[in-house]
Structure 1
Amino acid sequence: MEDIKELTKAEEQIMQELWEMNGGFVKDVIERLPDPKPAYNTVSTIIRILETKGFVIHESFGKSHRYLPKIEKEDYKKLVTGKLLHNYFDNSPTSMLSFFLEEKKVDVKDLDEILQIIQKNKSSS
């Protein structure tokens, strides 16, 4: 997983759609993007960059290509959250959770769910 590269904002937006659809053609991705829609060539170029970076593969259908995720969303999530934890919270999950609590990004319902997860993991250890 260490050889996975981070994505630009535009690349990540395209990957989110490909993950959601579990693959598709350029036109399918464009349909799912918010207005104003980017040009076909723009999306096509970004997808080819994603292929170069190893995030997608393609199947050929004549002159058109169907692009499929090669990197799982879960693997990319691990990379991004690991970098966030390392770069901004000194590898401390406690610091990260405290930050979200202080910024009011976590409500009481979220805390209850977190506590349930903690209890479940304590029980299985």
Structure 2
Amino acid sequence: MKTLTTAEEEIMQHLWTLEEASVAQVIEEMPEPKPAYNTVSTIVRILENKGFVDYRKQGRGHIYFPLISKQEYSSATAKKFAANYFKGSYKSMVSFFMKQEDLSVQDLEDLLEEIDKNKKS
């Protein structure tokens, strides 16, 4: 899966939340200072060319919607991150974040609970 630039990922975050939207609707959801319409429109077209979004015509405009779910992208990104920085070892990656972020005992217990849930399903 192709990676997204920071700007592309920001647009995708809004499209994932909105599920479908015009460029103007995406801009409405963005924080101040809002980017120019042409900037967002260009990024959306790039996302379309990369296969992340598609559109349907509505009147004279377009309504864009994600083709890749947030879950799919998150999973692919996590795998690539683990492969590039931790030789594919999720254990090393989690250990790194435990040390860097100084996780609380509650955070660790929550992680163990999630692991147990995933083992059962």
Deviation at 1:105, TM superposition (A): 5.4
Relative to 1, partners in 2 of residues 1:104 and 1:35: Cα closer, same or farther, differing over 3 Å?
same
Correspondent of 2:38 among 37, 41, 47 = 41
Q: Which runs of 5+ in 2 are unaligned?
A: none
Relative to 1, partners in 2 of residues 1:111 and 1:38: Cα closer, same or farther, differing over 3 Å?
same
Which residues in structure 2 correspond to 1:42-121 (within 5 Å)?
A: 42-104=39-101, 106-121=103-118
Q: Percent identity?
A: 50
- Give the number of aligned pairs: 121
**Do residues 31 (structure 1) and 24 (structure 2) align?**
no
Hey, what's the Cα distance between the residues in 2 that align with 1:44 and 1:106? 40
Hey, what's the Cα distance between the residues in 2 that align with 1:28 and 1:5? 25
Aligned to 2:5: 8
Q: TM-score, normalised by structure 2?
A: 0.93
Runs of 4+ in 1 over 4 A off after TM superposition: none
CA root-mean-square deviation: 1.5
Hey, what's the Cα distance between the residues in 2 that align with 1:42 and 1:71? 22
